[in-house]
Structure 1
Amino acid sequence: MSSRDITRISVAKRGVRFTRGLACVALCLILFSLHASAAHILYIGQSGGHNDTRGQVSVAAAFYGLQVDDVKWQHGRTASLAARYLNEPSLVAVVIEAEVLPALSSYQSIALLRRRPGLPLLIAGINDGTAPALLKYWSSGSISACLRSPLAHAPGHYKIAVGNVTQQLSGALLPLERQQVFYLDLSGNAQTIIQASFADSGLPVLARAASHNVFFATEQPNIDIPVTPDPYRQQKVFAALASPLIFLHYAAGERAWHSPGAYANFTFDDAWLREPYGYVSFPALLEQAQQHGFHVTIAFIPWNFDRSQPDVAALFRKHPDRLSICIHGNNHVHQEFGPFSTHPFEKQTRDIDQALARMEKFKQLTKVSYDPVMIFPHSVSPAATFSVLQRDNYLATVNSLNVPSDASTPPGLDFALRTATLQFSSFPSLRRYSAETDISPSQLAIDAFLGNPMLFYAHESFFASGIGAFNRTADFVNQLQPSTQWRSLGDIVQHLYLERLRDDGNIDIRALSGSIRLRNDQTRNATFFIEKREDSSGPLTVTVDGKPFPFLKTGTQLTLQLPIAAGAARLVEIRYQNSNNIAAIDISRSSLETNAIRLLSDFRDNVVSNTGSGRWFIRSYSEHGSDWNVAFALLLFIAILLLGAYIYLVRRKSHAGSTLPCRCHDASGHQFALQLPPKRLHR
């Protein structure tokens, strides 16, 4: 090797190191800008360490992406520190522990209020030890004291007041997991925000002073809520933190993490494009969707890829705003994506690949597009299967539970209160509600308040009462949140992100999907600072409107900066490289067992479900399938025994009737009878 070659290699290595250095610097700048852009809240509390109030405010602030500036009270220094924070434009609220109020002089409190007029202020952790005179002073006489309620012996609930602070939560009832509360004695025209109700009593626990932006929250000791994948656990979790969650939502507004819009979807499982499908006439269902303003997605089983009727397919092509298709398993056999012990990972991988290949053929035959969103049959898959969905560039998976069958439920507020999670292979997993059961209005109110997409599903038997069976649910959602946009699952996943406004007018984005549509609704150009959790170690690319775009990935964090002109929209996609050749995958229906199951399922949905007894059997089998299987096995065993007994008796009777008597005489002339077979007799 020549000295010139060595020099070139040395220069190249220095160039690589320099490029890596620039990348690290750029990453640090992006991460710093994301952190520095967060809005702040000022928390003034006692210096005696952690307490429940401080912890609850901190958890709620983190949920909204707000940074807490925790100032411990020190005589002579706190006022000057608070004054410095109050000058910061990123400050959106102040929280003061009730225990600190005696240490604040009248002069200091007036200075706090006047420095930022209108800045929301929460006095938190009020209990029966808080001096009534201080409550009267800070509330301008509208709150006179804090009292302890009698011990309740019957379950209670929180009732949320109607108003601009509570928005979609107005009138909601939330579970009260306590038998005793501290409550405010309102002596003036203070506005109750939350009240605890036991029997006929209404006890204010969060209130707003009249004509002031000062809020008062009573002390709420922490309670232990078990961590489970049950989506309805959301109500208990929200109720336990309702005061700081509602206050900070109001105080921070667009500076807090929030969804870009309100979205909803209704999915009809198992159907294929034939008219009718069980109780469902597609033209009639479309008419209901148009009249009541909802969108219907068919969870389509890929096994049916070439069975669509042309007239029904034409209906979907003509009305993509109301009708759409997503993927429902592959063959939809029982527990198709169940435990690996009975459904090996390799088989699940082949099914996921084949499902895509079949849906591409469906698209080719019908000219109807589909969303690569997977709804697993019967139950959600194990966690490792999520990585296969991601590798194949599925958009998301949507199921009644958003936790894989073999995974533990993640702790934390983000999982408990959001519809979607990236906790498993950084792949979007969303929860949905069965429209065939009663859904708590308060559950939907929390979703609307937090901007969660509301996803519903049902099967064809749901429409036994009439084609308008879903109308009441759709009407409730549209009344709860009039701006709700009913879209396809694919469209909803592409709007699955959180955004917050920065001090400089730019936008922070926390992507919850690998494919997002961003729109700059401001009247000025803006830069979007995008971050996404990304666990994949395999090769990937980022495109914007189909063209490669630079990004940085360090550890499990992917970031990029995207300028968007005023009023413009951009599509950002993360694509994962794989070696799949969809066109080469066998899509034939070669399994006799699978074919029999699918045809029997069609018979169930289109024939058996047409009677009341048939629908009862379908519901009972869905709920108690194992018991029915045992019963069927027992009946089959009894039937085999009876058949065997019948065959035995028939043969015995046949044998008895197959001989004929013959009169014979012996040598001495005595007569005797001899039974001979007919053939021998005729010989």
Structure 2
Amino acid sequence: MDTKLGAAERLVVVRISPGSSRATHFSRLAESLGAEVIEKRGEGRGFLERIVREARDSADRALVLDVDSVCEALGPEELENIAALIGQFHRPVLLLASRSSRQVGEALQVLTAGAVTGVSPIPQSARVHFPEESRDLAEELATFDYPLRPEARLGLTCDGRVSCTELMHLDGVPAFLRLASCKAGLFVWATPGVFDPDSPLSAELQFEEVIDSYVPAIIFVRHALGDRCWRTRGMGAGLVIDDPLLSSRYGLLDFPALLSSARANNYHVTLGFIPWNHWRTRTAEAAFFREHSDCFSVCLHGCDHTQGEFASADGGELATRIELAASRMRRHEQRTGIQWEPLLVCPQELFSLAAVRAGAETDDVIALVNTRCIPPASAEARVKGSDLLLAATDVPFGLPLLKRHYLRDMSDFAMSMFLGKPPILAAHHDFFRDGPGPTEAFVRKLREMRPDVTWRPLSAMLQELCSTRRVSATEWETRIFADVFRLHSEAEGATTHHVLRRSTPGTVTAVSAGGSGVEFRQVGDSVRFTVRLEGPGPIDIRIERQPRRVVGARLEEGPTYQLGVAVRRTLSELRDRVVGPGLALVQRASRLLQLQLVCAGVIHQLPEQSVSWQLAATLMPIL
């Protein structure tokens, strides 16, 4: 698109009634991306030409045309007239084709001036690829490919003599491309279905294995509307390492070496610390993490790290478990001086809808960080595709879930950034088998894809993470994901920001901006308020709420339970610290295993800071 023309302000989706559900799904998808959509449905040959002419003359509207419905209603002469109007458009045009038929092929041939000659079936397509030439539009996705649910799909056949930019391939066949047939670009997309963002999902795989049914829509809407659709600001990257004790070395993880690497390559590390271990950090070793908090931060990794401890459906038990985990971290901070972030990484990546509710109803957790954003086997979560298009999934209670990935290649992180989500790497000590080198390579590749992504503690990133879209020359809509937020404006003059934050009705008691109270209202599942900035800002926003704590249940804290936790932790650490580095330490570990189990089993039954507690706490970290 000629940048001098600027972005369109509205999207006109046109189909001949009754048409197909694909045009409807496209409209819903565009709206979930922040687009202002005008749907036009009608009958008769004069209807389509009139609507297309109006869109062309408005000069601020992009056009989406449902070719399937059009080709059945118009003859060759009418199609020629539509093609001539499309060639005069000042904004992008998308031709959406959903069937492989002679009629659709002939219509596309007319509408594209012969560049596209037909739509061809692709049986059992199972792979989507975004070629290098798509980089200007597909952004981070360029050069990557992704697995799809194997099923029949559609591709485009083209006249090789006509220049075009192929944006997406299905098993090597172009399915989405751009032509220079109009001033702002003519896009053609062949797909048997467009993703319905309003459909409920039971698993993220339902979203991830059909990316070919929504990524082209995102590319087109962003290109056509620019900053009038949702784009993420404040995106930061993260590295979360699960399980380590706060010592100079844990398994294959050498913290002094990691510090040198983080400093040299400017990245930050979040340590998923098990609160049960709060008494095991030695004062001398705590100084290292306290003094280098610019590179290391600590967050909650479960509570006792038992199997599925946050997968329970018992809200009272989960609320008590979160409170216990937070109280342990507060005691840890008081004893060691190491501050902690109110983020929760659930052990084994398992959590329930009740755990999300419990986290939303306390100040001790401001976000979950996991490899999945939908609780398993939870139809009540009510997560829709549109929720997974947000920078952070915050349904249904307003607690954001930040998705992280283990490293197999960079494609998952490319997709995260394309969708506006923070790229967060998940790791255990064995990721550092070859030292910090793989981490440095990851950081370098991430910066090559997105030079503007910054590294900082995830809780600090969350306080600036938002989705924004321009409503008018001086008005913006901003969606935030934290109760404490710093709002920025890039404009030099005065701007008005309409802010929304998902929140359970009845929980918010006050909102302030820059220390002054702001009127707010609950609209559906979100709190909305307006903030005016006289310049670039920033201004600090704070949302106050009355936590609706569930009456806590009594957890099993007896000697038998604690001994079981101690056995689990000891065996896990034996695996990490002995089997990982080498078997030479097995003899030493075996001698001390019994002593460690005894100390761990009794320490949670003793008054903290008593003589007996201090003796056990001194003996335990010897390993």
How far apart are residue 383 of structure 1 and its match? Answer: 2.0
- Provide, for residues 247-301 of structure 1, a one-character-per-residue CA deviation record: whole Å limited to 9, x for no partner: 1122122111111143211111122322222322222112222334432101122
Structure 1 residues 397 and 197 mapped into 2: Cα distance closer, same or farther (>3 Å)? closer
- Assess, with a 3 A threshold, how the Cα gap between structure 1 residues 512 and 442 changes in structure 2: closer, same or farther: same
Tell me how far apart the structure 1 counterparts of residues 234 and 283 of structure 2 sit (CA, whole Å).
35
**CA distance change for structure 1 residues 257 and 122 in 2, over 3 Å: closer, same or farther?**
same
Contact in 2 for aligned 1:235/1:443 (Cα 8 Å): no
Cα distance in 2 between the residues matched to 1:313 and 1:129: 72
Of 289, 307, 327 in structure 2, the residue corresponding to residue 334 of structure 1 is: 307
Match of 1:412? 384
Matching of residues 264-663 of structure 1 within 5 Å: 264-310=237-283, 312-340=285-313, 344-393=314-363, 394-405=365-376, 407-408=378-379, 410=382, 412-418=384-390, 420-435=392-407, 438-439=408-409, 441-538=410-507, 540-578=509-547, 591-593=558-560, 595-596=562-563, 599-600=566-567, 603-604=570-571, 607-612=574-579
- Residue 31 of structure 1: aligned partner: none
Of stretches 405-414 and 272-281 in structure 1, the one that deviates more from structure 2 is: 405-414
Report the Cα distance in structure 1 between the residues aligned to 2:501 and 2:204, rounded to whole angstroms. 24
- Amino acid in structure 1 at the alignment position of 2:576: S
Distance 1:379 1:445 in 2: 22
Q: Give the AA of the match of 1:184.
A: T
Q: Does 1:209 align with 2:180?
A: yes
Distance 1:51 1:121 in 2: 19
1:60 lines up with 2:29 in the alignment: yes
Greater mean alpha carbon deviation, residues 182-191 or residues 201-210: 201-210
Q: Residues 457 and 156 of structure 1: is their aligned pair in 2 closer, same or farther, counting only changes over 3 Å?
A: closer
- 3-state SS of paired residue (2:244): coil
Distance 1:241 1:39, change over 3 A: same
Q: Distance in 1 between matches of 2:369 and 2:109?
A: 51
The answer (yes or no) to whether the contact 1:234–1:417 under 8 Å persists in 2 is no
- Aligned mates of 1:228, 1:239 — CA distance in 2: 17
Q: Compute the displacement of 1:109 (Å).
A: 5.0
Q: Does 1:222 align with 2:193?
A: yes
Letter in 2 for 1:237: V
Deviation at 1:82, TM superposition (A): 4.3
Aligned to 2:14: 44
TM-score (ref. length: structure 1): 0.73
Deviation of the 1:529 alpha carbon: 0.3
Q: Given the two structures, how large is their TM-score scaled by the length of structure 2?
A: 0.79
Greater mean deviation of Cα atoms: 445-454 or 171-180: 171-180
CA distance in 2, matches of 1:348, 1:57: 40
CA contact (8 A) 2:49 2:81 kept: no
The alpha-carbon deviation at position 421 of structure 1 amounts to 1.8
Which one-letter code corresponds to 2:445 in the other structure? Answer: F
Distance 1:390 1:241, change over 3 A: closer
Q: Secondary structure at the match of 1:259?
A: strand
Shift in Å, 1:302 = 2.5
Q: 1: CA distance between counterparts of 2:378 and 2:97?
A: 37
Matched, 1:245 2:218: yes
SS at match of 1:559: strand
Give the superposition deviation at 1:186. Answer: 2.9
How well do the aligned residues superpose, as a CA RMSD in angstroms? Answer: 3.6
Q: Which moved more, 1:607-616 or 1:386-395?
A: 607-616
Structure 2 counterpart of 1:145, from 104, 107, 117: 117
Kindly state the Cα deviation for residue 120 of structure 1 after the two structures are TM-superposed: 0.9
The alpha carbon displacement at 1:207 in A equals 3.0
- Following TM superposition, by how much is the alpha carbon of 1:519 offset from its aligned partner in structure 2, in angstroms? 0.6
- Superposition deviation, residue 61 in structure 1: 0.5
Structure 1, residues 368-407: CA drift from partner, whole Å, max 9, x if none? 3322112222343332333332222221112222223552
Query: CA separation in 2, counterparts of 1:160 and 1:173?
Result: 9
Taking the aligned partners of 1:544 and 1:134, their CA distance within structure 2 comes to: 55
**1:461 offset after TM fit, Å?**
3.2
**Identity rate, percent:** 20
The aligned counterpart of 1:186 is 159
In 2: Cα distance, 1:604 partner to 1:347 partner: 26
Unpaired stretches in structure 2, ≥5 consecutive residues? 1-7, 584-623
Contact 1:303–1:330 (CA under 8 A) maintained in structure 2: yes
How many pairs are equivalent?
A: 559
Gaps of 5+ in 1: 1-37, 617-683
Provide the secondary structure at the position in 2 that maps to 1:287: helix
Question: How has the CA–CA distance of structure 1 residues 599 and 285 changed in structure 2, closer, same or farther, with 3 Å as cutoff?
Answer: farther
In 2 relative to 1, CA 144–295 (structure 1 residues): closer, same or farther, beyond 3 Å?
same
> Aligned AA for 1:236?
E
Does the Cα contact within 8 Å between 2:124 and 2:151 map onto a contact in 1?
A: no
Deviation at 1:180, TM superposition (A): 5.2
- Give a deviation string over 1:575-595, Cα, whole Å, max 9, x none: 322499xxxx9xxx9754465
Larger Rg: 1
Cross-structure match for 1:7? none
Quick check: 1:122 aligned with 2:94? Answer: yes
Q: Give me the whole-angstrom Cα distance separating, in 1, the residues matched to 2:548 and 2:226.
A: 45
The equivalent residue for 1:174 is 146
1: CA distance between counterparts of 2:206 and 2:226? 25
Superposition deviation, residue 92 in structure 1: 4.6
SS at match of 2:219: helix
In 2, Cα distance between the equivalents of 1:405 and 1:197? 30
Per-residue CA shift, 1:83-132, capped at 9, x if unaligned?
5455657x452112335375646566545554x53x11112217543577
Distance 1:312 1:478, change over 3 A: farther
Q: Counterpart of 2:253 in 1: which secondary structure?
A: coil
Deviation, structure 1 residue 508 = 0.4
Offset of residue 246 of structure 1: 1.7
Tell whether the 8 Å contact from 2:96 to 2:189 is kept in structure 1 after alignment.
Answer: yes
The 1:217–1:410 alpha-carbon spacing in structure 2 relative to 1, beyond 3 Å, is farther
Distance 1:547 1:365 in 2: 36
Q: Which residue does 1:27 correspond to in 2?
A: none
